[in-house]
Amino acid sequence: MKSFYLTDAGKVRDHNEDSVIIVKNENDEYLMAVADGMGGHSAGEVASSIAIGYLGKHFQETFLSPSKVDAVEWIRNSANEINSLIFNHEKTHPESKGMGTTLVLAIVTEAYILFGNIGDSSGYVLKEDKLHKVTYDHTLVNLLVSAGELTKEEASVHPKKNVLMKALGANDPIEVDVFDCDMEVSELLLCSDGLTNMLDNSQIEKVLLSELTVEEKVERLIMKANNRGGTDNISIAYLVREEGEF
């Protein structure tokens, strides 16, 4: 496996509320995760760091080649635990009231690949040189698109396109979406909406299909998002499954 992750404040925000991680456990299984915090300085970045900090430690300590069914339960339980940690933090830190975070994660093992998602950070896979979005954005406009009240084109320019319907720290109880992924995928990419609001799928795909290294591809995507305005924090976790590896 080759992997790389990076986060950038962008060109407009004066601080970064995103957090990102890629970590491997003792069985060479991988966890990737991106969290996009909300709530302003000293709030959003705390929520996202709570999520990523908990996940990294919890994965290395407790995720030891479970069955797919148990792994799905692990993802759901982890999301609920993070939710509780955020709410508990708010109780003792009034200045953080209203904080929350999106979360997108992927787990790669020899037997399965799973994605988990809540909010509007995105998970993608590359299969047969084609980029596919795996996750579903929990936004107001996406709900309206699903109901047939908006087209995708209308949703992309809607004034409320960033209004979330679900996020960690905003809903209790919480339910995370879990997606079972085809084992034939060659590459996985997770990102905050700071990337997807600046670049469309074809632009992301073009970079991933280039001859750049793993690190250079992530850096190029962030550079392109910034060149297009960089209106939000930009975070990417990227993993390439090399031939012969699970």
Average pLDDT in the 182-186 region?
A: 89
137 lies in a domain?
no
Element (DSSP H or E) covering residue 47: helix 44-62
Assess contact for 1 and 242: CB atoms under 8 A.
Answer: yes
pLDDT of residue 170: 87
> Is the model more confident about 242 or about 93?
93
**The CATH number of the domain where 36 resides is what?**
3.60.40.10
Domain that holds residue 91: 2-131+164-240
Instruction: Report the domain count for the chain.
Output: 1
State how far the Cα of 79 lies from the Cα of 20, in Å rounded to an integer: 15
Average pLDDT in the 136-158 region?
A: 79
Q: In this model, does residue 203 exceed pLDDT 70?
A: yes
Question: What is the amino acid identity at position 242?
Answer: E
196 lies in a domain?
yes
> Is the model more confident about 159 or about 50?
50
**Reduced to 3 states, what is the DSSP secondary structure of residue 232?**
coil
Q: In this model, does residue 85 exceed pLDDT 60?
A: yes
pLDDT more than 70, % of the chain: 97
**Model confidence, pTM:** 0.93
State how far the Cα of 189 lies from the Cα of 125, in Å rounded to an integer: 6
pLDDT of residue 124: 97
pLDDT band at 246 (very low <50, low <70, confident <90, very high): low
**Look-up of token digits 């992927």:** 106
32 lies in a domain?
yes
151 lies in a domain?
no
